[in-house]
A = this chain, B = another copy of it.
Amino acid sequence: MSQQLAQEILGELESLRLIDPHTHINPMSAASKTLADIMGYHYYTELAHSAGLAKNRIEEPGLAPKEKVARLVPWLATIENTAQYSWLLEICQVFFGFEGDQITESNWEALYDTSLARMSQPTWEKQVLETSGLDQVYLTNDFDDPLSDFDTSFYVPCLRTDDLVFHLSKTVVRERLKKCTDSSPTNATELKDSLGKLFAHFTANNARACAISLPPSFAPERVTSEAADAVVGKVFQGKDLDSNEQTLLSRFVFWSLAEYCAEYKLPFDLMIGVNRAVFEAGVYQGQDLYDKRVSLIQYKPLLNAFPEVTFPISVLSETSNQELVSYAWIFPNIVTNGHWWYSNIPVYIENDTRGRLQAVPQTKQIGYYSDMYKLEFALPKFAMYRRILAKVLAEDFVIGRGWKSDKAVELGKRVLRGNVESIFGKAP
C-alpha cells in the first residue's frame, strides 16, 4: 500500500517545475559538451580513483575527452552499486536515449558518440533545462565575478565568501579584492568598506544569497574593528599570520559579512563541517572530508547576534542533522537546507528528511539543491530526492498521521519549491 501511495504522491511532485538554489554552474558554459564533462564530475573520478584507477591516468595534462572517458569506463563496474552511478545512468538514459542498464567497455563508445551529437546541438542547454523543468539555477560566484555576462534572473548570483574569510593571507586573494573593489585596505574599517562594495555589487545584480563553507573547527565570534586593526594591517602588508591571528581575522571578516547580510537583507548560507585537502593525493575536488565532532553550539554567538539574518544551514555529517532540526525548531533565523555532499545519499536523505518534516516548521525547510557543476545533474539528483520525499510523505504523513494525499503533496511542493521562493525570492 505504501509503495503505491508513494508512487501517486511522486507523480504529483514530478509535475512541479523546479528552482535549484545551490549549484556550481558556470553560466557561460552551463551544459556539458562531452561525456567527459559528465564523467569528469568529481563523484566519478574520486570513486574510480578510490576503486583503483591511478590519478595520473585521470588528470594527465592534455587528455582528450574521449580518452578520459575510455579510461574511466572500465572502473564503472566497481561503482555500479553507488547512488552516484545511478545519477550517471539516469542522465544517459533520459538525455541520450541510452537503453542499457550498465555502461560498459563494449557499449560506451556508441554512447559517447550519440551523446556528443546531442550535446553539440546549439539548443542543448535549453533542452536540458526544459527536460529538467528548471525555472532558475542559483550559482556560486567568486567575490570578484563581474556578473555581467549572463542572465542573472535565470542564473541567480550568490556571493561565495570562503576566500575572504579563510584565504586573505594569500596574495592573489588580496589582489583580487583590491582590484574588484578599487580599494587598498590598510585597516579593519577599510577592509570592511571593501567588503561592503561586494555586497552592493552583488545585490545590484540580483544576488539572492551570501554563502560559505566552513571547517568543523570554526566558531564565529564578534571581533570589533579596533581589535582587528593590527591583524588586518599585517595581512595587507603581506606578512604571515600565526594561527591565532588567522582565527581573529577569519572571525572579523565572517562577522562583517553577517552584518552586511543584515544590511542588504541577504540570506547567509552556511555549509558547515568540511575539512579541505584531507586526502592529499586525491583527485581534483576529491580530497575533502570531515570531522564529525562539530556542533551548532559553535554558532551560538552568531545566531543570537543576527536575528534579522536568515541562515539556511547545510551540515556535512548526518550526525549533525538532529542538531540542525533542533536548532531550526527554536531559532527563527535558521532554515534547514538540502542534503549536502557526503549526506546526499538515500539512506541519509531519508532519515534527515524524516527528522526535519517531523519537527521543523514547514515554512523553514529547503528540501534540496543539486550542488551540480553541469546542468545535466539536476534531473537525476532531484529525482532521487523526490522519490525519497514521496516515500516519507506516504509513510509518515498519509499512513502514519492519516493525512489526505493532497495535503501531503502540498507539503512536498512547499519544501521542493515554495520555500525556495519565500526564503530567497520569487522566480520571475
A interface with B by C-beta (< 8 Å): 1, 3, 46-47, 49-52, 78-84, 86, 101, 275, 278-282, 286-287, 289-293, 295-297, 300, 303-304, 307, 317-320, 322-323, 325-332, 342-343, 345-348, 351, 354-355, 357-364, 387, 396-397, 399-403, 411
Instruction: Judge whether A289 and B326 touch: CB under 8 Å.
Output: yes
Chain B residues near A320: list those with CB within 8 A.
292
How many copies of the chain does the oligomer comprise? 3
Q: Which 7 A-B pairs have the closest CB atoms?
A: A347-B354, A51-B361, A291-B297, A326-B342, A291-B295, A81-B362, A78-B361
Chain B residues near A332: list those with CB within 8 A.
49-52
Instruction: Judge whether B84 and A359 touch: CB under 8 Å.
Output: yes
The answer for the CA separation of A62 and B381 in the assembled complex, in Å, is: 52
Which one of B46, B78, B303, B361 lies within 8 Å of A329 (CB-CB)?
Answer: B46
Given contacts A290-B297, A292-B319, A319-B322, contact A304 B329 (CB under 8 A): no
Instruction: Judge whether B297 and A50 touch: CB under 8 Å.
Output: no
Q: How far is the CB of A35 from chain B (nearest CB, A)?
A: 20
- What are 26 of the A-B contact pairs (CB < 8 Å)? A49-B330, A49-B332, A50-B330, A79-B361, A81-B358, A82-B359, A82-B360, A101-B402, A275-B297, A279-B304, A282-B330, A287-B330, A290-B326, A291-B297, A292-B320, A292-B322, A292-B323, A293-B293, A329-B342, A345-B355, A345-B358, A346-B354, A346-B358, A346-B400, A347-B358, A351-B351
Instruction: Judge whether A82 and B358 touch: CB under 8 Å.
Output: yes
Closest residue of chain B to A393, judged by CB? B81
Instruction: Judge whether A47 and B347 touch: CB under 8 Å.
Output: no
Q: How far is the CB of A363 from chain B (nearest CB, A)?
A: 5
Closest residue of chain B to A396, judged by CB? B346
Which one of B80, B82, B84, B330 lies within 8 Å of A289 (CB-CB)?
Answer: B330
Chain B residues near A387: list those with CB within 8 A.
400
The answer for the CA separation of A290 and B297 in the assembled complex, in Å, is: 7
Chain B residues near A361: list those with CB within 8 A.
47, 50-51, 78-79, 81-82
Chain B residues near A49: list those with CB within 8 A.
330, 332
Given contacts A292-B322, A345-B358, contact A364 B51 (CB under 8 A): yes
The answer for the CA separation of A140 and B90 in the assembled complex, in Å, is: 45
The answer for the CA separation of A355 and B81 in the assembled complex, in Å, is: 11
Given contacts A51-B363, A358-B345, contact A86 B401 (CB under 8 A): yes
Instruction: Judge whether A317 and B327 touch: CB under 8 Å.
Output: no
The answer for the CA separation of A291 and B346 in the assembled complex, in Å, is: 26
Instruction: Judge whether A79 and B362 touch: CB under 8 Å.
Output: yes
Instruction: Judge whether A355 and B348 touch: CB under 8 Å.
Output: yes
Q: How far is the CB of A3 from chain B (nearest CB, A)?
A: 7
Which one of B307, B331, B342, B402 lies within 8 Å of A322 (CB-CB)?
Answer: B342
The answer for the CA separation of A78 and B328 in the assembled complex, in Å, is: 13
Chain B residues near A346: list those with CB within 8 A.
354, 358, 396, 400
Chain B residues near A292: list those with CB within 8 A.
295, 319-320, 322-323
Chain B residues near A318: list those with CB within 8 A.
322
Interface centre among A3, A358, A361 (most CB of B within 10 A): A361
Chain B residues near A1: list those with CB within 8 A.
3
Chain B residues near A401: list those with CB within 8 A.
86
